[in-house]
Amino acid sequence: MSGARIIWLLLYKGSRRHTVCQGFTRGSTTQHPTQMFRGFVCRYLTGPSASRCTALLYRKHGDPAQVVQSESISLPDVGARSVLVKMLAAPINPSDINMIQGTYAILPDLPAVGGNEGVAQVLDVGSQVKSLEPGDWVIPRDAGLGMWRTAAVLAEGDVISLPRDIPLLSAATLGVNPCTAFRMLTDFEDLKPGDTVIQNAANSAVGQAVIQIAAARGLQTINVIRDRPDVAKLTDSLKAMGASHVIKEETLRQPAMKELFKSFPRPKLALNGVGGKSATELLRHLEVGGSMVTYGGMAKQPVTVPVSALIFKNLKVKGFWVTQWKKNHSQDEGALRTMLDELCSLIRQGKLTAPDCSEVGLQDFHSALDIAMQPFTSVKQIFVM
Ligand SMILES: NC(=O)c1ccc[n+]([C@@H]2O[C@H](COP(=O)([O-])OP(=O)(O)OC[C@H]3O[C@@H](n4cnc5c(N)ncnc54)[C@H](OP(=O)(O)O)[C@@H]3O)[C@@H](O)[C@H]2O)c1
């Protein structure tokens, strides 16, 4: 048994000796008795040796720099169908920021722990837990669990195991962006080797996963990025991942595109993570009858679809949300498992790597959140606990 596990089990066993009732403790101050986090019921504690963890939480929506704080909070008992986990690593994604700002489509009850994605290791399991055992790596099945913390007690059904032979950063960043890329390349067009996909925000984590999964399937990709001082370096790194072409946003409106399509089939699929003019430009280059799938709106501008694109090119304009896909398939264990297995297989073969990550400790959350919200960073901030 590892030292870390022994320490956590001791803490956890210690907490069992204390009276527990519903509520929320912050240090020694008791707050709103009815508040609880999903998967993490916060309790009053009656003694000093109860089990606790450090969490980045927010009590109101707003600027993450202002509203997120690091607090020591209590862990509940491990119920019959729950597991005690130690968090290992958890990234900061745009949706985490939007959730804190209060602009995301789903918002947890407040106070809430930040972070929707990450990998944890099981330390202890309840008496009726069948699918997990101590030592397993797990990731959330769904958004909203609150992963920016050192430990948690989670329902068995809220997590799914991952093999432990993949790199930690790949595991921590697998459940959202690669799954989104995988589904968008699979579910909207019947793509064959040699077909083309065009995407904007190509240097995003989703974009990098699209490039790599597409390359593994023999698909060609046209990857649109914003201009920047080190654009050549970024271009080279995306090409090293398997990008067929990397172009700047401006190029989408230039004659160079016509030249490109003399030697390249027009894309059947466009993936839009930006919106605004960028999305309209992607549409202009699609093959007749092709699809544009919008999954993100980083420019915070609506998508404008020219009438001619609908009438004369019969383009399909659709959206994708991985959270909804997971909800729709929550009763179909095999669907999520099959996708994760395929992605892990690509990781083992060296065909799918984690996005460039900057590893930070939870205590450095202020600067990590600040960097995560800056443009042109191309590096994902990831908490390593
Ligand atoms: N629908 C879904 O299921 C789903 C799943 C996963 C992610 N998403 C969404 O996908 C998007 C990307 O997520 P991620 O984790 O991959 O992001 P990320 O790695 O943090 O990268 C952010 C990307 O957004 C670009 N960007 C930022 N501000 C922009 C602006 N004003 N105009 C154009 N591009 C801008 C960045 O480009 P620069 O380098 O040029 O700044 C970068 O490519 C987010 O909107 C996220 O919410 C959706």
Q: What percent of the chain has pLDDT over 90?
A: 84
Residues with CB under 6 A from ligand 1: 93-95, 176-177, 180, 201, 203-206, 226, 273-274, 295-296, 298-299, 320-322, 355, 375-376, 378, 380
Structure confidence by residue, pLDDT tens digits, 228-284? 999 999 999 999 999 999 999 999 999 999 999 998 899 999 999 999 999 999 999
The topology under which CATH files domain 3-173+354-384 is: Quinone Oxidoreductase; Chain A, domain 1 (3.90.180)
Distance 298 CA to ligand 1 centre (A): 5
Average pLDDT over residues 24-52: 36
Mean pLDDT for 292-308 is 97
pLDDT tens per residue across span 342-355: 999 999 999 999 99
Per-residue model confidence as pLDDT tens digits over 318-350? 999 999 999 999 988 899 999 999 999 999 999
Given a cut of 90, is residue 5 above it in pLDDT?
no
SS3 87: strand
Ligand 1 centroid vs 278 CA: distance in angstroms? Answer: 13
Q: Does 32 score more than 80 pLDDT?
A: no
CATH fold for domain 177-323: Rossmann fold (3.40.50)
Tell which atom from ligand 1 comes closest to the C-alpha of 91: 15
Domain ranges of the chain: 3-173+354-384, 177-323
pLDDT at res. 66: 95
**Among this protein's residues, is 295 annotated catalytic?**
no
Q: How far apart are CA 214 and CA 220, in angstroms?
A: 7
- What is the overall mean pLDDT for the chain? 88
Residues 324 and 302 sit within 8 Å (Cβ to Cβ) = no
CA neighbours closer than 13 Å in the CB half-sphere of residue 355: 29
Of 19-23, 79-83, 242-246, 257-261, the poorest mean pLDDT is in 19-23
- The minimum-distance atom of ligand 1 relative to the CA of 201 is 43
What would the pLDDT profile of 144-194 be if each residue is shown by its tens digit? 999 999 999 999 999 999 999 999 999 999 999 999 999 999 999 999 999
pLDDT digits (tens, 9 = 90+) for 55-72: 999 999 999 999 999 999
pTM: 0.89
Distance between CA 152 and CA 256 in Å, rounded?
A: 53
Name the 3-class secondary structure at 184. Answer: helix
- List the structure tokens of 55: 């969490």
The amino acid present at 91, given as its one-letter code, is P
Q: Answer with the residue of higher pLDDT: 225 or 49.
A: 225
Q: What is the pLDDT at residue 50?
A: 42
pLDDT at 46: 30
